[in-house]
Amino acid sequence: MEKLVDRSPTLRAVDLAARFTPPRRFAGVRFETYVPDPAHPSQGEALAAVERFAAGLIEGASPPARRWSWRRGSVAGTDPPPGRYLDGGFGIGKTHLLAALWHAAPPPKAYLTFEELTAVIGFMGMVAAVELFAGYRLVCLDEFELDDVANTLMAVTFLRSIVPATKVATTSNALPDKLGEGRFSVDEFRREVAAIASHFDVVRIDGDDYRARTRAAADPGQVMVPLPGLVSCDELDGLLAHLRRVHPAQFGALLDGLDGVMVEGLHPIANQGDALLFVQLVDELYDAEVAFAATGCRVDELFPASYRRGGYRKKYGRAESRLAAMLAESAGVSR
């Protein structure tokens, strides 16, 4: 049996760029497979809005030659087109629509999470990252979120550098002009947050978390659910120590080739740095559709209450929702 702690991927920048596509969980989604909930009309309206955005990308698939500057983010002879910002709660299909947009759009294009973007920028450096992403017609960023001042300044620099030459579509759980609230002294960065918001037209999506009904099955218990295929098995504390040694940009590659991941001894994670690394791993597991099983505490006991009420509460909420869904899937509970 494999162990994640024995894996230390070292992908180069070109290798990371080759992975900028929707993960396995969303590889087959399309606009026609998105089924709006009639109880929430905003879902149908969002579908239509993103389809129109995709149509505009197709119509403009042969843009004139562009002159780009990473410092100014300016392109001679073009008007800055607005991006799309899909706002709403957990489990209502925002990522489905974003991935469907990517599939419908003409190349060159990139798809990754905002967490992955910040990791890639940290790994490559801002100049190299901007030069890379400026070559795309469309960049799809899932789960856009500003957790700290560094991410805010990074996001402003990045967006100013690639827009309008590159169109950006993103999902988030906070309106763009509310990014960062409750996480840091956002009043000191109103101008930066406003600069981010100015790049997007907001598409609001309402609805219920379709994963919520799996929370009753979110108790891993003391017996490991067997998983088929190539599976890794690690003890939580050893895994957390290993995640501190692996660059977050490599977390996706950490799971390459695995059909399942098992973690023994889940317990409340006292260190917030460790908790956030585990959240990022959960996102990679969920997106890659890697089966997950565990023993130990309940999902709603994994992150201390003070964390779930703090500045990173939306990260933890998303992780709890996804962990519950993955445990239910492994236990054979239909969603």
Write out pLDDT tens, residues 5-23: 999 999 998 999 999 999 9
Q: Please tell me the least confidently modeled range out of 86-90, 133-137, 259-263, 282-286.
A: 86-90
State the average pLDDT over residues 94-112: 96
Helix, strand or coil, per DSSP, at residue 169: strand
pLDDT above 60 for 80: no
Give the residue, 66 or 37, on which the prediction is more confident: 37
- Residue 215, pLDDT score: 53
pTM: 0.81
Between helices 114-124 and 126-133, what is the axis angle to 10°? 120
- Residue 69, pLDDT score: 37
Confidence class for position 30, pLDDT limits 50, 70, 90: very high
State the average pLDDT over residues 156-177: 84
Cα dihedral 88, 94, 97, 101 in deg (nearest 10): 90
- Residue 335, pLDDT score: 38
Cα dihedral 103, 107, 108, 112 in deg (nearest 10): 0
- Residue 51, pLDDT score: 97
pLDDT above 80 for 308: yes
Provide the CB-side half-sphere exposure for 147 (13 A, CA).
14
State the average pLDDT over residues 61-67: 44
- Residue 200, pLDDT score: 87
pLDDT above 70 for 234: yes
Residues 6+ positions from 260 with CB-CB distance below 8 Å:
227, 228, 229, 230, 231, 232, 290, 291, 292, 293, 330
pLDDT above 50 for 58: yes
In the chain, what are the domain boundaries? 4-11+211-330, 34-204
User: If we measure between CA atoms, which residue out of 22, 90, 102 comes closest to residue 54?
Assistant: 102
* Residue that has been written with the tokens 């400026």 in this structure: 134
* Residue that has been written with the tokens 């008007």 in this structure: 79
- 83 bridge partner residues: 200
Residues 6+ positions from 99 with CB-CB distance below 8 Å:
22, 26, 27, 29, 111, 140
- Residue 7, pLDDT score: 97
- Residue 188, pLDDT score: 52
The CATH homologous superfamily for domain 34-204 is P-loop containing nucleotide triphosphate hydrolases (3.40.50.300)
* Residue that has been written with the tokens 């991927």 in this structure: 9
Six-digit token pair at 216?
């009753």
pLDDT above 80 for 29: yes
User: If we measure between CA atoms, which residue out of 275, 287, 284 comes closest to residue 254?
Assistant: 284
Give the residue, 236 or 184, on which the prediction is more confident: 236
- Residue 177, pLDDT score: 57
Give the residue, 192 or 288, on which the prediction is more confident: 288
Confidence class for position 212, pLDDT limits 50, 70, 90: low
Q: Please tell me the least confidently modeled range out of 111-125, 228-242, 268-282.
A: 111-125
Confidence class for position 77, pLDDT limits 50, 70, 90: very low
- In angstroms, the CA 124 to CA 189 distance is 25
Confidence class for position 181, pLDDT limits 50, 70, 90: low
Give the tens place of pLDDT for each residue, 240-274: 999 999 999 999 999 999 999 999 999 999 999 99
User: If we measure between CA atoms, which residue out of 207, 210, 252, 12 comes closest to residue 111?
Assistant: 252
pLDDT above 70 for 132: yes
pLDDT above 70 for 216: no
pLDDT above 80 for 232: yes
- In angstroms, the CA 121 to CA 61 distance is 27
Q: What mean pLDDT, rounded, does the chain reach?
A: 85
Sign of the torsion formed by the C-alpha atoms of 245, 248, 250 and 252: positive
* Residue 33: exposure state from Cβ atoms within 10 A (0-12, 13-18, ≥19): exposed
- Residue 314, pLDDT score: 83
User: If we measure between CA atoms, which residue out of 249, 255, 200 comes closest to residue 230?
Assistant: 255
User: For the stretch 153-172, what's the b/e string if a residue is b when 16 or more beta carbons lie within 10 angstroms of its beta carbon?
Assistant: ebbbbbbbbbbbbbbbbbbb
- In angstroms, the CA 93 to CA 28 distance is 14
- Residue 117, pLDDT score: 92
Can the peptide bond before residue 226 be classed as cis, meaning omega within 30 degrees of 0?
no
State the average pLDDT over residues 224-228: 88
